[in-house]
A and B are shown apart, each in its own frame.
Chain A
Amino acid sequence: MLAAAQSHEPAERKRALETLFAAYWKPVYKYVRLRWNRPPEDAQDLTQGFFMELLERDLLARFDPGKSRLRTYLRVCVDSFAANEEKAARRQKRGGNALHVALDFEAAEGELGATVMHPAAIASPESLEEFFEKEWVRSLFSLTVEDLRKLCRERERESTFHFFEMYDLEGDEKISYAQLAKAYGIPVTDVTNALAWARREFRRIALERLQEICASEEEFQREARAVFGWNAK
């Protein structure tokens, strides 16, 4: 995707950047709020300003996937940007949001309240990296869940999404496959199959999204391992 983000073809470049921003704006916003201890309004300005800076200074062109992960690179860029916020504020005034990515800061703020990690607990660089990675996974999975919701609607599989929501998103342990089957008047095997389908599609969509924001097959494999926890010991 980073190759696409630097494409000379404006439409391809725009699409690639929008995909990247959609996946990263929330982690960046939350990171600024916690790491830089900024009030919501400042953090919003900083987040928008950061992405403008990314575009204007073509920072993605300097990213080398062989040296670091994109996440780490972006986080370091955010740190450097936030350290010079006056400059950021000027850019924000001069620029404006050229890409059509809806930034729902209110929702991000609400999520921040639910975030487990307390600002006091994220002092070390490792925990900052961990925090940023977790928020990045949350962002990617949230986008994937929305894609899956749309897919289910298109295929008239709303009940499938409902099962998925109840079981995998809400994690309501009081509900069994049998109860869902009874509620919908279908055999238990249908619930099993529906959930297997939803999980398979979720996995496919998440990997597709991930592939879009990776510069190489090697980076994709590395990122997939991180996102799905395949590196976990």
Chain B
Amino acid sequence: MKFLSDKALERLRAGADVPDLEGTRYRLLERVARGGMGVIYAAEDGKLERRIALKVLDLPCNSGELAKRLTREARVLARLEHPGIVPVHDVGMLADGRVFYTMKFVEGQRLDKHVAAVDSLADRLRLFLRICDAVAFAHSRGVLHRDLKPANIMVGPFGEVLVMDWGLAKILRDAAGPNATDEDGEATVIGSVAREGEPGDDTEVTRHGTVMGTPGYMSPEQARGDVEHLDARSDLYSLGAILRSLLAGTMNSKMPRPLEAICAKATAETPALRYESAMQLAQDVSRYLDGLPVTAHREDLFERSGRYYRRYQTAILLIAAYLVMRVLILVFMKR
């Protein structure tokens, strides 16, 4: 038997990873990232002559049912037309049984890297609102992401926020399509991608009833593997965790109580105690930005005074200055 050197082992691993795209319309360009259950490559769509992102799952699909389900879901996901969503273009199977799907090739930065250069709390919250917009849109179309985390959110060169990796989302219902079937409600094999060399690669591969998602961003019900009963509130948990991670980088002291309450409500252990929708969560964050009371937090008199002061700071200072001037004038005139 031939002895295999360490280098040979690495070459064999690398060779076994490279997808054989023979028979597809795609041509491999370069490897971009490795994720929990697959590799993302840059590829060229020979038909449309454009650069696309191609994700190849690591393990072969032994059952045709999975491929059918992925195709069915890709059709639904292809209809998610929103500026904040990078939908799936195509799904297929390689000769070795591995499932692949293609998406728009997005150039930008991962959310967590991008925000490292964003110091302003308000700017971070505005980014978060755009994520909520995209997720709320998907929910309105009956699609759950199920693996929302900073690694799956990109910020483009013009500040546009893009929620990635919808290829393996769960279709709750087909709100827009004419071919909806009961089968669309089934959970599917799922996984996620974290960029190469980054933390957060510990996503679990799952099938029906087993754990999926990313620890830290995954809802408790998802962590229990209760995929049958997941709904939009599971994504809300992930959004809450993302919000917390965004805030963590800006807080020199303690997090403002309203924001802390928003995070706590979004990431409540029990789904019923969370926000009902991504839109509601976004509205609460907007209210905070506008200096209004948030629904997640009942403020006391001191907090309310402080908020009024911050909100009407200029007017209050002007009035105070005016009053001081009047007093000074009165005092001066009495002399």
Partners in one complex: yes
A169 touches B11 (CB 8 A): yes
0/1 per residue, B231-247, Cβ < 8 Å to A?
00000000000000000
Instruction: Kindly list chain A residues whose C-beta atoms are within 8 Å of the C-beta of B12.
Output: 141, 145, 168-169, 202
Question: Residues of B contacting A121 with CB < 8 Å?
Answer: none
Q: Return chain A residues, CB-CB under 8 Å to B3.
A: 107, 110-111, 114, 142
Within 8 A of A (CB), among B37-64: 37, 58-60
Contact of A202 among B16, B60, B201 (CB under 8 A): B16
B55 smallest CB distance to A (angstroms): 13
B residues 136-191 near A (Cβ < 8 Å) are none
Determine if B34 and A232 form an interchain contact, defined as CB atoms under 8 angstroms apart.
Answer: yes
Q: Which residues of B are found within 8 Å of A230, using beta-carbon distances? A: 34, 37, 58
Chain A stretch 21-44: residues in CB contact (< 8 A) with chain B: none
| Interface size bracket, B side | 20 to 34
Distance between A135 CB and nearest chain B CB, rounded to angstroms: 10
Residue of A nearest to B37 (CB): A230
Please encode chain B, from 1 to 36, with 1 for each CB lying within 8 Å of some chain A CB and 0 for all others: 111111111011101111010100000000000100
In the bound complex, do residue A196 and residue B22 qualify as a contact, i.e. CB atoms below 8 Å apart? Answer: yes
Binds B, one of A55-63, A72-80, A82-90, A217-225: A217-225
Is B96 in contact with chain A by the CB < 8 A criterion? yes
Could you tell me the distance in whole angstroms from the C-beta of B245 to the nearest C-beta in chain A? 19
Contact of B2 among A104, A169, A218, A224 (CB under 8 A): A169
Q: Chain A binding site: helix, strand, loop or mixed by DSSP? A: helix
Interface size on A, residues (CB 8 A): 40
Q: In the complex, which of the residues A107, A171, A206 contacts B16, with contact meaning CB atoms closer than 8 Å?
A: A206
Contacts of B11 in A (CB 8 A): 167-169, 171
In the assembled complex, the CB of A225 is this many whole angstroms from the nearest CB of chain B, namely 7
**Cβ contact of A199, chosen from B16, B201, B205, cutoff 8 A:** B16
B256 at the interface (CB under 8 A from A): no
- For B5, the chain A residues whose CB sits under 8 A away are 114
Q: How far is the CA of A157 from the CA of B333 in the complex (A)?
A: 110
Confirm or deny: A125 has a beta carbon within 8 angstroms of a beta carbon on chain B: no
Partner among A116, A143, A202 whose Cβ is within 8 Å of the Cβ of B1: A143
B323 on interface, CB distance cutoff 8 Å: no
Once the chains are docked, how many angstroms separate the CA of A196 from the CA of B95? 10
Taken together as a complex, chains A and B put the C-alpha atoms of A109 and B223 apart, in Å, by 46
Please give, as numbers and ranges, the residues of chain A lying within 8 Å of B7 by CB-CB distance.
171
Q: Is B210 an interface residue (CB 8 A)?
A: yes
Q: Which residue of chain A has the shortest Cβ distance to B1 in the bound complex? A: A142
Given contacts A221-B205, A229-B13, whether A169 and B4 have CB atoms under 8 Å apart is yes
* A179-221 to B contact mask, C-beta < 8 Å, 1/0: 0000000000000010110011011101100000000011001
Of chain B, the residue at the smallest CB distance from A200 is B96
Task: Pick the contact of A145: B4, B95, B207, B210 (CB < 8 A).
Answer: B4
Q: Is the CB of B4 within 8 A of A196?
A: no
Assembly CA distance A170 to B15 (angstroms): 13
CB distance from A120 to the nearest CB of B (A): 18
Tell me, in angstroms, the Cα distance from A228 to B22 when the chains sit together: 22
Bound state CA distance, A137 and B10, in angstroms? 11
Known A141-B9, A142-B1, A171-B7; contact A203-B16, beta-carbon cutoff 8 A: yes
Contacts of B34 in A (CB 8 A): 230, 232
Contacts A142-B1, A221-B205; is A203 near B6 (CB within 8 Å)?
A: no
**Within 8 Å CB of B207, what residues of A?**
217
Cross-chain pairs A/B with CB under 8 angstroms, 22 sampled: A114-B3, A134-B9, A138-B4, A141-B9, A167-B11, A168-B15, A169-B2, A169-B11, A170-B8, A171-B8, A195-B15, A199-B16, A200-B20, A202-B15, A204-B60, A207-B60, A221-B59, A224-B59, A228-B13, A228-B16, A228-B17, A233-B198
5 shortest A-B CB distances, which residue pairs? A203-B16, A199-B15, A196-B20, A200-B96, A111-B3
